[in-house]
């Protein structure tokens, strides 16, 4: 069994393609890709924040104070064209044609409406389909400020002192007292996304060697020679399985190590200080526990991809099977981030979902070690069952030579 494993490892180390996907890709490509996406997102957000929007107010003489505020606002400039904009439909057409960015229709004078005990409804026309859009929030802030001034004037006319107006408008204030610490708060938000990186990488680290050790052997014609050796089918499968398992774990370890180095470099610029300070209490035992939870997952996925590779007639067919499998692995990870999904006696038996939930709880610092024990038991039992199926699959001649 170990002779087969060492033989397969030597062949994998000679395969540049496999080394690229297991070592080079996690070290270089993923961090660079994440940094590139972060750069593009930050650039788009900065451009959206600095953009000056063209606006037009219909009936601006009804609210001169509001119009003046918009006119002197650094993020808005008044439309100076000759288009006839006098209704909501005209504003809508102008926004669609790109003549203006936002139009505001004021139906009546707000101060007069307030004196009559009625509300004035400003209609804001803009395109909200853009991914990063600050128009509505900025207009709302100006309208809220203008509305607050009207409220202050109305209360003053009613004889309410200025220092008492806040209490009249909001008699009861709600003060938030959070029992969760900083680590738990950030861990709830970030810990759910860590499995999105680790578990697919475990699968990726197992897929490429498995395709080569199963379907690749068939294409090269070396499978028959391997079967003539004085080894049982179980020993052959276990040797290949251990090779794939080591590759899978190595890919995850390399990726996490690479990401930690990049995070450490980024922390020098101060961008990640809040997150790093929150994770300062994550101990080495917590990291070891996360990797320990990944081990049975790697065993399950290694057995599964090896069985698929043995069944496939060719290298290309095996690759076609790996695509849907990659998509299916994301389903239980998505389930783990659904609302009200917590680690308990029931979810501890759901494959992959249980590990994703446990990783999040570990990052939060609220992990239940009894549930972790159940996860180990469930994952190891499933991995053993899949490995047994893989051995049985490898023992069937019609599968090996189909």
* 217: β partners: none
| Gap between the Cα atoms of 225 and 274, Å rounded | 58
Residues 237, 326: one domain? yes
268 has pLDDT over 60:
no
Total domain count for the chain? Answer: 2
pLDDT of residue 303: 87
Kindly state whether residues 246 and 162 are assigned to the same domain.
no
- Work out the percent of the chain whose per-residue pLDDT is above 70: 81
Q: 270 and 396 share a domain? A: yes
pLDDT of residue 5: 62
Q: Is residue 339 part of a domain?
A: yes
Report whether pLDDT(12) > 80.
no
164 with 250, same domain: the answer is no
Q: What is the reported pLDDT for 17?
A: 66
Q: Quick check: 100 pLDDT over 90?
A: yes
User: For residue 59, what is the domain's CATH number?
Assistant: 3.40.190.10
What average pLDDT does the chain have? 81
Q: Do the domain assignments include residue 6?
A: no
Q: pTM of the prediction?
A: 0.66
Are residues 221 and 161 part of one domain?
no
The pLDDT assigned to 282 comes to 67
Q: Residue 359's domain spans which residues?
A: 183-400
Describe the strand order of the beta sheet including 102-105 as a list of residue ranges.
76-78, 53-58, 102-105, 123-126
Domain-located, residue 214: yes
CA 205 to CA 210: how far, in whole Å?
9
Q: Is the pLDDT of residue 275 over 70?
A: no
Half-sphere exposure of 11 (CA within 13 A, CB side): 17
Q: Which residues of 14-35 are buried (b: 16+ CB within 10 A; e: fewer)?
A: eeeebeebbbebbbeebbeeee
7: in domain: no
Looking at the structure, tell me whether residues 212 and 346 fall in a common domain. Answer: yes
Which pLDDT score is estimated for 160?
A: 82
At residue 161, the pLDDT reads 84
> Does residue 175 sit within a domain?
no
Domain boundary among 138, 169, 200: 169
When pLDDT is cut at 50, 70 and 90, the band that residue 29 belongs to is low
pLDDT value, residue 230: 76
pLDDT at 293: 87
In a domain, 149, yes or no: yes
Q: CA–CA distance from 148 to each of 74, 118, 154, 156 (Å)?
A: 21, 15, 10, 12
Residue 351 reports pLDDT greater than 60 = yes
Give the pLDDT of residue 249.
Answer: 83
- In this structure, the answer to whether residues 212 and 158 fall within a common structural domain is no
Least confidently predicted of 118-122, 148-152, 277-281: 277-281
Contact 203, 297 (CB under 8 A): no
Q: Which of 120, 143, 169 is the last residue of a domain?
A: 169
pLDDT band at 133; cut points 50, 70, 90: confident
Is residue 162 domain-shared with residue 200, that is, in the same domain? Answer: no
Q: Indicate if 243 and 375 belong to the same structural domain.
A: yes
Q: Which of 113, 142, 169 is the last residue of a domain?
A: 169
Diameter over CA atoms, the chain: 101
């Amino acid at each position: 069994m170990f002779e087969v494993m060492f033989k397969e490892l030597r062949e994998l180390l000679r395969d540049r393609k496999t080394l690229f996907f297991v070592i080079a890709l996690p070290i270089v490509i993923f961090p660079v890709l994440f940094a590139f996406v972060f750069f593009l997102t930050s650039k788009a957000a900065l451009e959206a924040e600095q953009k000056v929007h063209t606006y037009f107010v219909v009936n601006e003489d009804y609210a001169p104070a509001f119009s003046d505020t918009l006119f002197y606002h650094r993020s808005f400039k008044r439309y100076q064209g000759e288009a006839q904009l006098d209704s909501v439909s005209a504003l809508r057409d102008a926004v669609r044609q790109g003549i203006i960015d936002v139009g505001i229709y004021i139906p009546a004078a707000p101060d007069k409406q307030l004196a009559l005990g009625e509300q004035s409804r400003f209609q804001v026309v803009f395109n909200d389909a853009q991914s990063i859009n600050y128009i509505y929030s900025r207009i709302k802030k100006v309208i809220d400020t203008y509305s607050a001034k009207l409220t202050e004037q109305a209360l003053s006319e009613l004889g309410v002192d200025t220092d008492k107006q806040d209490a009249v408008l909001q008699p009861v204030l709600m003060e938030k007292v959070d029992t969760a610490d900083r680590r738990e708060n950030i861990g709830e938000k970030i810990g759910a996304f860590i499995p999105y990186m680790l578990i697919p990488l475990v699968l990726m680290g197992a897929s490429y060697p498995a395709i080569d050790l199963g379907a690749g052997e068939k294409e090269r014609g070396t499978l028959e020679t391997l079967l003539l050796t004085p080894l049982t089918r179980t020993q052959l499968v276990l040797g290949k399985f251990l090779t794939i398992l080591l590759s899978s774990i190595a890919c995850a370890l390399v990726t996490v190590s690479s990401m930690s180095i990049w995070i450490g470099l980024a922390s020098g610029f101060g961008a990640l200080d809040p997150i790093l300070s929150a994770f300062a209490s994550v101990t080495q035992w917590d990291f070891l526990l996360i990797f320990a939870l990944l081990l049975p997952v790697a065993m399950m996925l290694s057995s599964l991809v090896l069985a698929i590779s043995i069944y496939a007639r060719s290298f290309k067919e095996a690759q076609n099977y790996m695509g849907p499998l990659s998509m299916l692995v994301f389903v239980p990870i998505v389930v783990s981030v659904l609302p009200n999904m917590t680690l308990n006696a029931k979810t501890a038996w759901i494959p992959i979902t249980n590990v994703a939930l446990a990783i999040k709880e570990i990052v939060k610092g609220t992990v239940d070690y009894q549930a972790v024990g159940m996860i180990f038991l469930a994952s190891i039992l499933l991995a053993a069952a899949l490995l047994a199926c893989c051995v049985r699959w490898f023992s069937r001649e019609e599968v090996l030579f189909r």
